[in-house]
Amino acid sequence: MPVEYNRNDSQGVSIIALKGRLDSANAGELEKGLGDLFTQPGQKAVVDMEKLDYISSAGLRVVLMLAKRARQTGGRLLLSCLAPSVREVFEISGFLKIVEVASTTEAAVTALA
């Protein structure tokens, strides 16, 4: 099952809402779909994970690549609404030390705007 994503902008911030499972079968497709994020200096984005049921190491790699691109271009990436099972994967992998997380998408947008 492919991960579904919806992208829109609010207050100059790109919001990407993920839904489903993000794993090795679809991580490359998502990375390609978000390839234009952080191509310009200072871009800001929030990845809303409220409806993401599962993330694998391949999915974590996509998040890491986005975070690296954001840093390289002076942009900023925040994750929001991590479900407990997804948050656990981020905690175990140490990714919560690498990426910023907000409890709600609105809080993340406000922090970036």
Domain boundaries, the chain: 4-112
pLDDT digits 0-9 by tens, 83-111:
999 999 999 999 999 999 999 999 999 99
Q: Write the DSSP assignment of 27-88 as a string of letters.
A: HHHHHHHTTTTTSSTT-EEEEEEEEEEEE-HHHHHHHHHHHHHHHHTT-EEEEE---HHHHH
Predicted local distance difference test score (pLDDT) of residue 86? 96
Closest CA to 2 of 15, 17, 19, 16: 19
pLDDT higher than 70, residue 57? yes
Q: What is the mean pLDDT of residues 9-17?
A: 93
pLDDT higher than 80, residue 20? yes
pLDDT: which is higher, 46 or 1: 46
pLDDT digits 0-9 by tens, 42-56:
999 999 999 999 999
**Spacing of C-alpha 25 from chain mean position:** 17
Predicted local distance difference test score (pLDDT) of residue 79? 98
pLDDT higher than 90, residue 1? no
The fold of the 4-112 domain, in CATH, is Transcription Regulator spoIIAA (3.30.750)
